[in-house]
Structure 1
Amino acid sequence: MENRTTLSKTRQLTVVGMLSAICIVLGATGYGFIQLPIAKITIMHIPVIIGAIVEGPKVGMLIGFIFGGFSLIQNIVAPNMLSFAFINPLVSILPRVLIGLTSYYSYKLIKVKNESLSIGIGAAVGSLTNTVGVLFMIYVLYVDKYAEGKGLTIAKATKTIFGIAYTNGILEAIAAVLITVSVVGAVNKIIKDKRYTK
């Protein structure tokens, strides 16, 4: 029993390290962003969702914390027009930690017979947590600064923020569903095959 617990913890730490590294590589190289004709979307949060669904909410939250911490540091080291918001942990870290909770519990608690559909629901909810969470915190805490930086009125800035949340939220959720269903499905198959061959 003790050996099984130790192996489980070791596996979880390995998953945290591997998926956190993927988040950081995606952010540092720019590969975590996909330019579409109507929007630029991110896939950097997808390793957080995968970790949560495969290994549980604690693992997902830890990967989310590392992802958010990297985002905060990146905005200090290489500031851009929105860095004033992302150096606040309520913007850069909190929504990313919550991805682990929302993706796991929506995957587990929304009961459907099809496993891929369950995974897809968890991925979509986790992705929306990231997109809407970050933009909502920017709106609540910094809408005036955002408006000033963009040269907009508060009303137009509000419309812009919620427009981005709507457009990016849908596109990023679709990307998260497609990638997460494929990856988690493959991982689950490997786990089942290993159990079967034992």
Structure 2
Amino acid sequence: MLNARGVGKSHENVRKMVVISMLSGICLFLGLTGLGFIPLPLFKLTILHLPVIIGAIIEGPVVGGSIGLIFGLFSIYQNITAPTPMSPFFYNPLVSVLPRILIGVISYYVYKIIRSKVKNIKVSISVAAICGSLVNTIGVLGTIYLVYFKDYATVLMERGTISTNSMSAVTTALLTVIGTNGIAEAILSALVVTPIVIAIFKMQKKNI
């Protein structure tokens, strides 16, 4: 027979599996329906990574990383079924999967570190959400930059983003995306994730 510790561990594992399934389902729904992309005059913001951050903060790095894995695999599927000029880069798991797993891992540890030093839980969650979002943006674009520099430069030139494939031009274009889309998505992540996580903690009757 299972002892109390064994039963508790079993319940915890079931809960984590449910959270992974539920938040992964939300991520896939947002991607398949297009609701995960918020159009702005100059660019689109994505919120597909938010379930990864939420799962990481409430259940830990394994859950967050697992949701990130599913997000990354979905990214490969999405780029195969609806290709764009950037899609070939995302066939590589180093671009599409690894950064998404790291969203969950880094978000959790940033939250734990900040929470141990700051009493205000809203600050802890917000900083973790911002860091998780930036991991997504910088991780994906940074890997493309490092692994596919020449091909990335060609795509940017074809789109009219840059006029030369020099390192300075490509780097400037990359930093511009991070400074616009990346920062905007990070702020949006904090605004959305913080109240959701606090509400979940209250339902779980955690001390906040």
| TM-score of Structure 1 vs Structure 2, range by shorter chain | over 0.9
Q: How many Å apart are 1:12 and its aligned residue?
A: 0.3
Instruction: State the distance in 2 between where 1:28 and 1:81 align.
Output: 19
Question: Is 1:102 aligned to residue 106 of structure 2?
Answer: yes
Q: Which moved more, 1:14-23 or 1:158-167?
A: 158-167
SS of the counterpart of 2:83? coil
Question: Is 1:122 aligned to residue 128 of structure 2?
Answer: yes
Instruction: State the distance in 2 between where 1:8 and 1:168 align.
Output: 37
Question: Is 1:146 aligned to residue 159 of structure 2?
Answer: no
Moved over 3 A (4+): none
Q: Which runs of 5+ in 1 are unaligned?
A: none
Residue equivalent to 2:25: 21
Question: Is 1:42 aligned to residue 46 of structure 2?
Answer: yes
Q: How many Å apart are 1:167 and its aligned residue?
A: 1.0
Q: How many Å apart are 1:154 and its aligned residue?
A: 2.1
TM-score by length of 1: 0.94
Q: For 1:42, give the aligned amino acid.
A: T
Q: How many Å apart are 1:169 and its aligned residue?
A: 1.4
1:180-195 → structure 2 map (5 Å cutoff):
180-192=193-205
Matched residue count:
194
Instruction: State the distance in 1 between where 2:66 and 2:173 align.
Output: 31
Identity %: 50
TM-score by length of 2: 0.89
Q: For 1:27, give the aligned amino acid.
A: G
Deviation string, structure 1 residues 81-129 (Cα, Å, up to 9, x no partner) = 1011011101000100000111000000122110111111111111110
Q: Which runs of 5+ in 2 are unaligned?
A: none
Q: 2:174 aligns with which of 161, 174, 180?
A: 161
Q: For 1:36, give the aligned amino acid.
A: L
Deviation string, structure 1 residues 42-74 (Cα, Å, up to 9, x no partner) = 110000000000000000000000000010111
Work out whether residues 143 and 154 of structure 1, in 8 Å CA contact, stay in contact via their aligned partners in 2.
Answer: no
**For the aligned residues, what is the CA RMSD?**
1.4
SS of the counterpart of 2:38? strand
Q: For 2:40, give the aligned amino acid.
A: L
SS of the counterpart of 1:192? coil
Instruction: State the distance in 2 between where 1:66 and 1:34 align.
Output: 21
